[in-house]
Structure 1
């Protein structure tokens, strides 16, 4: 797995010194990213350079090479991702600063008692007088984290914090990671049910299949607020949007296309199912695990254990297998759309797919579910919806596709306007499909 290393270096403050540094990094097979000036002195300057390296050993080798340059000193070299995680990525902050005794009386005793009594008399006021209506619980047991597998709940915390960061930054939704230390479905469901009243929505994340399907189904049936497993549905929404746009680039529409899904885990099943609902001409899928076949066939997905059949018949191929290099260039059919979504190394490199004849190809760096879940949940909360239904998911996919610039596959994931537009589309779909309760819509969202 490639790493980003940051090097803080001191170099002589003379022309050509940074070029010497860049040359040595290139000789060491590093790829320069960010360059930040920390300090400029009369004799020397201090800069931080972020360099993509193959692994930690390679990162230390680049540092040694820089240290060997005359007049250059490496002050420190560290994995940039670990630097960015020091102290965690979340805090709990107040929306109401307390500066005076009167402020204290308002937000705590005696004023807080009146808010509590108002909610006791009318529970719907919780959405207006507390953070409940604009908050989401991100629940995981860490059994299927990214491409890392079953690493447990505590090691999954950086991922859950990252999800919460994007909720806040992109959708103004407060999200709290909830780590549930059990692999037992009954225990997991009961735990979420007991904490659910403190949140407006339940976001399920990084739970292994097939348990994730049972957990989601039971929580949807048991809880009055929206529940969504992001790996299944959020990924599917963004992939559907990307497929719609990619088909446009390739000169045909999704409705006229055969979609092939390679891998029927949580993400793969969600994608294939939404492709059926999105009116693809046919959806054919392959997975060596027979336990996934019955669930897929019940959804109208044609299933085979032969990946070559999928590659031969599909106009749009989506792969979510976790197996880098699985798709060989010689199996790519001229004019196909290839979305190889395994991170960090896809089933086939997009450039190799295009060179082999694909009309359009992309990997998981482009098709990222961060484009979906913040706006989807914000829209559901704004509608006071008790569920996230199919019309809401299709509306989100259409909004993402419509917001994509001509030359791109998806819009900018860090543009808050994109997430606001997605949220509006989801809210409107909730109203139109009859699952909205606008009187429950929260204040301050």
Structure 2
């Protein structure tokens, strides 16, 4: 492990972070803006109004991670220089989870006053200060003085991070155990910075101060010890008028144990002495005060257990807090991180743990079950939703409490946060907002599948559509109950209702294709794909999603046979939207037409351009080949060339289109405006129409896997009613996204 870690850090370039430019620096003009003489303009603006630094510099997204290395977790007082890898690592977490930039500052200063003066002098540089690994009691003094002197947030994560995350766990543990915060008897092992901050925070959440018993290495913190001078000015606030005693005495009858001390100091007997259904947060690292299995096995009732370790359920990990708390604070230009903001963060985390967990998170943690209950009371660090829940909650609390310099619209803020995590989220937000403006009735053909049920729950929760689950009603209701979901979907059971009209409809559609009336009735009863297709074709639902548990061609066949293509379409096609960091392209056809001729290519281009506009993207289409504008002339290159000619000459086509052309020609602006300056494309194409199914399917997968693109789809175009065929293995988010696309399709009066 050590050698691997050393190799990780020393591999060129050494360390874990770097500075990169965010503006172009390719020309002399660019450089004149970046530095002299152009840089004088923002300097003058900031000189006139210091607040303009947030507008013209990185201040609003820059945090200083500051330490003197006097109390590094697991290493102790190793000094400023040796602590640098830890501070760089903290910067990595800020960037990875909340897109916040960091300068790590290691100060070789033991004097608290000198430390405070040095940090205070750097206030113009940063939007916030994260204090890290500073020994108690100096950490209290340093944070207090900096909070008084600075008008930007100052946050000692070692104190408040643990408090907030364990506070979120406490809120949910109390709910599960049926207890009340005000009635809890809480015992702390440890009386250092983290323990004191956590105890204070629990009081903010509703725990009574007089119900907190705190122990240090010498036993219970009592008023007698305080009066004798045995306690410092900080931990004496939790001294109680109790008899002298040790940790075992303090734990007897306690509802909650909070360990922030040393490993192995709690026995099973001590756990058995606690009140019914105890809550145990054993957070010493790397070894907890009592092991997870030992605590669970000590009693027959419910023990809700959390530790600081990732190999057990309910890890209290500070990365669930500080990146998102600072994100919310920075984005409203907060002057501080106050108690209201901390409580808001804990409450948001607690609420998130009650929501359905995305498949991507479940997979990241080895497919272990993650469902609200004793073994899942706080979210996992890799759950991207933490950003969208905690940061807005903190921002709102800052505004409401008067700590914010600027007011923001929280709904718009969530959209900006999503854009930080990738173009795909930004693009889907456009469609999701459109869907929510007028939700439609979406038939889900595989209604008994657990993933479909979970997706339906999210569709309802987010107001995207009105899902109709098709399948055995008892199975569907049972799945909802087993998953602990709280929603009442519309369920249609083909075997329990009178659907003779559906059988008649299918028979009329397929009687000249060898389907008898009896066979039609059997297909309606036994095949939910046919049932859903008829439901949409009759107008009993506005759109259909199917295919999660079927091979794509098998799932596509019933909708094609029943719903068919639109009046102005002869062909359907499968389109993927591929999103990159700063761009988006639509790729067709990737799923349906194996060897399209010029008629198919022309029509697919039209439909794909229409789809792009549903995402508020103005289409620029290129029909691809291995030839550029006739450089190779054969049957294969003539098809896209002819399709492009027809489109260019059609006055009804109101978007630029050209071809045939090679893929690099289509996406490299210098080639379009230089070598091929005659083309109708003045900018790189964002609609790429491939010459056949093999090329389209291979192309989108290469772009996804090697180009780092996020893929959304396949989205079916050209159908008479909105129908989309899922792919086997799609996750809940994929289904929700396609439900939104289907809803927007259904809103279009052209359907």
Given the two structures, how large is their TM-score scaled by the length of structure 2? 0.47
Mapping of residues 209-248 of structure 1, within 5 Å:
209-248=136-175
2:283 corresponds to which residue? Answer: 341
1:73 corresponds to which residue? Answer: none
Mapping of residues 16-415 of structure 1, within 5 Å:
79-86=3-10, 87-281=14-208, 282-288=211-217, 292=231, 294-298=233-237, 306-321=246-261, 323-332=262-271, 333=274, 334-357=276-299, 359-365=303-309, 366-405=315-354, 406-407=372-373, 408-415=376-383
1:437 to 405, 409, 416: 405
Q: Distance in 1 between matches of 2:237 and 2:124?
A: 33
Q: Distance in 1 between matches of 2:240 and 2:57?
A: 44
How many Å apart are 1:331 and its aligned residue?
0.5
Q: Is the contact made by 2:214 and 2:239 (CA closer than 8 Å) also made in structure 1?
A: no
- Kindly provide the CA deviation profile for residues 94-114 of structure 1, in whole angstroms up to 9, marking residues without a partner as x: 111311222222222221111
1:27 corresponds to which residue? Answer: none
Deviates more, 1:199-208 or 1:332-341: 332-341
Say which structure, 1 or 2, has more relative contact order (CA 8 Å, 6+ apart).
1
SS in structure 1 at match of 2:266: coil
SS in structure 2 at match of 1:187: helix
Distance 1:147 1:249, change over 3 A: farther
Distance 1:300 1:95, change over 3 A: farther
How many Å apart are 1:80 and its aligned residue?
2.6
SS in structure 1 at match of 2:258: strand
Number of residue pairs aligned between Structure 1 and Structure 2? 368
Q: Is the contact made by 1:346 and 1:364 (CA closer than 8 Å) also made in structure 2?
A: yes
Q: Is the contact made by 2:332 and 2:406 (CA closer than 8 Å) also made in structure 1?
A: yes
Please state which structure has a larger fraction of its residues in strand.
1
How many Å apart are 1:265 and its aligned residue?
0.5
Q: Is the contact made by 2:283 and 2:289 (CA closer than 8 Å) also made in structure 1?
A: yes
How many Å apart are 1:284 and its aligned residue?
1.7
Distance 1:329 1:293, change over 3 A: farther
SS in structure 1 at match of 2:234: helix
How many Å apart are 1:294 and its aligned residue?
4.6
1:31 corresponds to which residue? Answer: none
How many Å apart are 1:85 and its aligned residue?
2.0
- Kindly provide the CA deviation profile for residues 117-137 of structure 1, in whole angstroms up to 9, marking residues without a partner as x: 111111111011001111111
2:396 corresponds to which residue? Answer: 428
Q: Is the contact made by 1:205 and 1:229 (CA closer than 8 Å) also made in structure 2?
A: yes
How big is the alpha-carbon RMSD for the aligned residues of Structure 1 and Structure 2?
A: 2.4
Q: Distance in 2 between matches of 1:163 and 1:385?
A: 21
Structure number with bigger Rg: 2
Q: Distance in 1 between matches of 2:200 and 2:350?
A: 18
- Kindly provide the CA deviation profile for residues 67-110 of structure 1, in whole angstroms up to 9, marking residues without a partner as x: xxxxxxxxxxx733223222111111111131122222222222
- Kindly provide the CA deviation profile for residues 407-434 of structure 1, in whole angstroms up to 9, marking residues without a partner as x: 4121121223202321110110011111
SS in structure 1 at match of 2:66: strand
Q: Is the contact made by 1:370 and 1:413 (CA closer than 8 Å) also made in structure 2?
A: yes
How many Å apart are 1:173 and its aligned residue?
1.0
Q: Is the contact made by 1:171 and 1:416 (CA closer than 8 Å) also made in structure 2?
A: no
Q: Distance in 2 between matches of 1:111 and 1:336?
A: 64
How many Å apart are 1:302 and its aligned residue?
7.3
Distance 1:309 1:189, change over 3 A: same
Distance 1:302 1:377, change over 3 A: farther
Distance 1:82 1:349, change over 3 A: same
- Kindly provide the CA deviation profile for residues 268-313 of structure 1, in whole angstroms up to 9, marking residues without a partner as x: 1111110111111422211146655652443687787621232113
Q: Is the contact made by 2:187 and 2:258 (CA closer than 8 Å) also made in structure 1?
A: yes
